[in-house]
Amino acid sequence: MLLLVGSSIFAQNRITGKITNQSDNQPVVGATVQVKGTTTATQTGTDGSFAITAPTPNPTLVVSFVGFEQREVRVGNQTDLAIALTASTSNLNEVVVTGYTAQKKKELTGAVSVVKTQDLTKVASSSFLGQLEGRASGLQTTSSGAPGTAVSVRIRGNSTFTEGGGDPLIVIDGLQIRGAFQNQINPNDIESIQVLKDAATTAAYGIGANNGVIIITTKKGKVGRPRVEASTYFGWQTAGKTYEDQMIKTSAEYADLIYQSYNNAGQWPLDSTTNFARTYGVGPKPVLPQYVNPLPTKPGDAINTTYNYPNNLVMKASPGTNWWDAIFRENAPMAEQNVSVSGGNDGGRYFFSVNRFVQDGILKFTDYNKYSVRANTEFKVKGFTFGENITTVFDNGVGQPNGNQVEQNTITEGMLKMQPIIPIYDEGGNWGGTKAGFGKKKWFSQIIP
């Protein structure tokens, strides 16, 4: 018998050192020291010192701490290291517009959030306020979800002062605006956004700023060679499945449900003059009719099936209308295209942009279209500076009657109440719906484009 025994031995390197602040040589307490490519890590003590065992030869240490630049150090043959970290000043030196002045971020004492264009354009929306959602702390946005709808913004909750309806003051390049104009700003033209959230803003803007201030700085041309930028996106929206699974899909199922409710209460058969009896009969079980409009005066009577608009809208009974599918799109497209040209020299600078935004709503027959052109120039002649900042916008859209955030919502309320036996179209190709007498609102006709 031959027995082979093998073993392997590898050395683990114990590394010690000290982390200090490069500017004052003070120890950095709580800095993280990690062996790159592994999960082995430790933290510095109160004197900035650390000790770590590297599981691999010739390791690289990654040293990081909040407020300092991350640093990688190759250990080599060293066993005791002295590592100095450099303070990170990129964010602190960022210039922030506050009121009518500009300050460095590290000099601010108020509550301010700064949002960059690259963060805004990651979200597909017709309004820059919709793109702000989740980008600034303490800021909440709500909207009906309809294409092109205005966005309601609250900064740190609702205020007891209702100047402006509770919405913050919006300042674009020094111009104060409110209302629906928010949708007419091309988000791609925005350089940065500052959200001022504390009470100190009223000192600069007055009582109109009691709900906070959103300051927008738009893009301007920069000295240098002409720069052309183009961007586009295309996507789809889909209605979330909510009521659909709760709705009755077939006429037979609905009729049987109504029959059981009356029969269990001892009220079947019904009086022959009721709509349900005129539709489904008064026999031992409900019978699906051939027509739902016109209805017979009483079960068994003849009806006039000669179509006449609008006096006799003949409607055949549907085996089961899915009203969810009837009013919602499965995939509603939305798209945006944007082109800008900018540049300048010592004598002047320019910025031009063209934008197109189109969105179909998940509710059929609703949409929103926006086209905008912007020109921003600045010229210097013999000590004088002149120019213009012009935005021209054309937008239109078809919305939902009564919006989407009221109890008596015309369309979705009607969808839930509509019986599956009612057809979408009558025999003449016109809208069906409640003209058959199965409700009080001619809801579907209200969304005809």
Mean pLDDT by 10 residues, the chain (449 residues): 40 83 88 87 88 85 86 87 81 50 48 73 80 77 79 72 69 75 80 78 71 84 91 88 78 91 89 87 88 87 88 90 87 94 91 94 90 92 86 86 58 79 90 58 36
Please say whether the dihedral angle defined by the alpha carbons of residues 162, 168, 170 and 176, taken in this order, is positive or negative.
positive
| Residue 177: predicted pLDDT | 77
| Residue 332: predicted pLDDT | 92
| Residue 368: predicted pLDDT | 92
Q: Is residue 334 part of a domain?
A: yes
Q: What count of Cα atoms within 13 Å lies in the side-chain half-sphere of residue 2?
A: 1
Q: Is residue 114 part of a domain?
A: yes
Q: Are residues 347 and 388 in the same domain?
A: yes
Q: In the 8-state DSSP scheme, what is residue 268?
A: P
Which pTM value belongs to this model? Answer: 0.66
- Strands 169-172 and 213-218, by their bridges, are parallel
Q: Is residue 5 part of a domain?
A: no
Q: How far is CA 79 from the centre of its chain?
A: 53
Please give the structure tokens belonging to residue 248: 């009755």
Q: Is residue 245 part of a domain?
A: no
| Residue 264: predicted pLDDT | 92
Q: Are residues 189 and 281 in the same domain?
A: no
Dist CA 182 CA 130 (whole Å): 10
**Among candidates 129, 134, 221, which has minimal Cα distance to 178?**
129
| Residue 326: predicted pLDDT | 87
| Residue 65: predicted pLDDT | 85
Q: Is residue 324 part of a domain?
A: no
Do 394 and 418 touch, CB atoms closer than 8 A? Answer: no
CATH number for the domain that contains residue 70: 2.60.40.1120
Query: For the chain, how far is it from start to end, CA to CA, in angstroms?
Result: 92
Range of the domain at 300: 250-319+406-447
| Residue 178: predicted pLDDT | 67
DSSP bridge pairs for 352: 341, 375
Q: Is residue 353 part of a domain?
A: yes
Q: Is residue 133 part of a domain?
A: yes
| Residue 13: predicted pLDDT | 77
CATH number for the domain that contains residue 200: 2.170.130.10
| Residue 45: predicted pLDDT | 87
Q: Are residues 121 and 207 in the same domain?
A: yes
Do 328 and 239 touch, CB atoms closer than 8 A? Answer: yes
Q: Are residues 341 and 367 in the same domain?
A: yes
Other beta carbons within 10 Å of 83:
19
CATH number for the domain that contains residue 229: 3.90.1150.210
**Among candidates 71, 70, 68, 61, which has minimal Cα distance to 16?**
61
Please say whether the dihedral angle defined by the alpha carbons of residues 117, 119, 122 and 123, taken in this order, is positive or negative.
negative
Dist CA 421 CA 273 (whole Å): 19
Other beta carbons within 10 Å of 93:
10
Q: Are residues 195 and 113 in the same domain?
A: yes
| Residue 335: predicted pLDDT | 94
Residue 195, CA distances (Å) to 118, 320, 404, 432 in order: 16, 52, 28, 50
Q: Is residue 388 part of a domain?
A: yes
- Locate tokens 């609008």: which residue? 310
Which residue, of 62, 85, 108, is where some domain finishes?
85
Overall domain count for the chain: 4
Which residue, of 367, 382, 398, is where some domain finishes?
398
Q: Are residues 184 and 313 in the same domain?
A: no
Q: Are residues 270 and 286 in the same domain?
A: yes
- Locate tokens 């809801």: which residue? 443
Q: Are residues 59 and 103 in the same domain?
A: no
Q: Are residues 341 and 392 in the same domain?
A: yes
Q: Are residues 78 and 116 in the same domain?
A: no
- Locate tokens 């092109």: which residue? 148
**Among candidates 32, 81, 75, which has minimal Cα distance to 57?**
75
Q: Are residues 311 and 257 in the same domain?
A: yes
Q: Are residues 69 and 208 in the same domain?
A: no
Backbone angles phi, psi at 275, to 5 degrees: -60, -40
| Residue 110: predicted pLDDT | 53
